[in-house]
Structure 1
Amino acid sequence: MKVLIFGATGMVGQGALRECLLDSAVGEVVAIGRSPSGQQHAKLSEIVHADLLDYSAIESELTGFDACFFCLGIASAGMSEADYSRITYEMPVAAAQTLLRLNPGMVFVHTSAAGTDSSEKGRVMWARVKGRTENALLRMPFKGVYIFRPAMIRPMHGIQSRTTLYRVLYKALGPLLAPLEKRFPRYVTSTERIGKAMLKVVRSGAPKHVLECEDINRL
């Protein structure tokens, strides 16, 4: 299996990358982003690409993939809807459109969030924008499209969020997250479980295409 990962420096992306590198069925992993992940592994290669809205210059490097894990995201606090949409909607849609043309048999997995508004009409800006993104991706005729909607995520194996507020929160809640994950699977998952579930949907699909936190844990 050959896997492409967007956002491998983020918390979810780090988890997905770790599980790919550990999985014997994954022969090659390519991480693409505006900065290198800083990791080295025999199975890992990286594409540093500044413009995540235009892939014309690197299309020759984006063929032959079985799966894409799109884990790139940003917190909405302090952002206008236009700026947030550029990262949360335009970037994943641009990547998916290019990859669909080059790899129509690919499985595309997108990381969204619990509470996303599929109607695209709600009052909460981030939820509305994420809903528009999900809907656009689900309409694309890949071999499979799966939307992951985690709630609280327990970082494992030294993985950290790049968002300062989240790092402080996870540090404060650290000892509680593992038991909470076991007791409340509807609300808490982990970077490890997300990564393994992503690989699972590539191999054998899932009962539905929009997977909430509990669905991720079940997989």
Structure 2
Amino acid sequence: MTLKIIITGTTGMVGEGVMQRCLDNPKVEKVLAISRKPNGHQHPKLEELIHSDFMDLDSIESQLTGYDACYFCAGISSMGISKEDYEKITYDLTLSFAATLAKLNPQMTFTYVSGQGTDGTEQGKSHWARTKGKTENDLRKLPFKAVYAYRPGMMKPLPGAIHVISYYKYFAWLYPIGRALYSNAFNTLAEVGDSMLFVSTNEYDKFILNGKEITATAEKLVTSSK
């Protein structure tokens, strides 16, 4: 089975890393990267779709059919913006985008990158964590084949990445120490990408994937490819 995959957030570190891993996998036939600006990458399997308004996909719906999976890696920090704007970008935009894909591709697997600390109860004190939790929970209600919520902590970029978050460059030396001491909070972006490919092609019984689940499913993909 080959996969046709839609990826958002490829102008950011997570989406770029997931995209790189998908493009390197021989079982991936095509990657459609949807973003507001070019991501700076070229590849025979990569198609870029530049679209300014993720809340309104009417004009590009015809280009979004026939896909097996969507890896939603777009996101924004809650720092420096109002609660209303954070909810609009994190919840409203994500659900609107996903609802369109569910209508067009009901057999699609949808994976959403929320992050470590997300509050699935929607009852905690942290606004960003509650908002992410509500987004996870309501995505699960959409009529996809399967939905998975990814909660990685610190992630190690792939070689050749051009969209690395600035502070990761300064704290990269912490990664091997953190991985050894607290493996659930440290993943490579290769693992995140491989894990998404695994859950897209295999039945997986957990909705939420923390660091350890991401590592385990990534290892299963590698093992099954040998």
Q: CA deviation at 1:140?
A: 1.3
Q: 2:189 is matched by which residue type in structure 1?
A: T
- Aligned pair in 2 of structure 1 residues 105, 159: CA closer, same or farther (>3 Å)? same
The alignment partner of 2:179 has SS state of helix
Q: Provide the residue aligned with 2:18 in structure 1.
A: 16
| Whole-angstrom CA distance in 2 between matches of 1:3 and 1:198 | 11
Q: What residue is the counterpart of 2:212 in the other structure?
A: 214
Matches within 5 A, 1:1-219: 1-159=3-161, 161=163, 166-168=165-167, 170-219=168-217
2:163 and 2:180 map into 1 onto residues whose CA distance is 21
SS in 2 for 1:84: helix
Runs of 4+ in 1 over 3 A off after TM superposition: none
Identity in percent: 42
- Could you tell me the TM-score, scaled by structure 1's length? 0.94
Aligned residues: 215
Deviation track 1:42-70 (CA, whole Å, cap 9, x = no partner) reads 00001100011010011000000000000
Structure-2 separation of matches of 1:196 and 1:65: 18
- Please report how far the alpha carbon of residue 160 of structure 1 lies from its aligned counterpart in structure 2 after TM superposition: 5.3
Q: Does the CA contact (< 8 Å) of 1:3 and 1:65 recur in 2?
A: yes
Mapped contact 1:154–1:178 kept (Cα < 8 A): no
What is the CA deviation profile of residues 104-130 of structure 1, one whole-angstrom value per residue up to 9, with x for unaligned ones?
000001001111111212211110110
Equivalent-residue separation in structure 2 for 1:180 and 1:159 (angstroms): 21
Secondary structure of the residue aligned to 2:183 is: coil
- Segments of structure 1 that go 5 or more residues without pairing to the other structure are none
Aligned residues of 2:8 and 2:74 also touching (Cα < 8 A): yes
Give the secondary-structure state (helix, strand or coil) at the position aligned to 1:89.
helix
CA–CA separation in structure 1 for the residues paired with 2:73 and 2:103: 20
Distance 2:100 2:34 in 1: 14
Instruction: Give SS of 2:70's match.
Output: strand
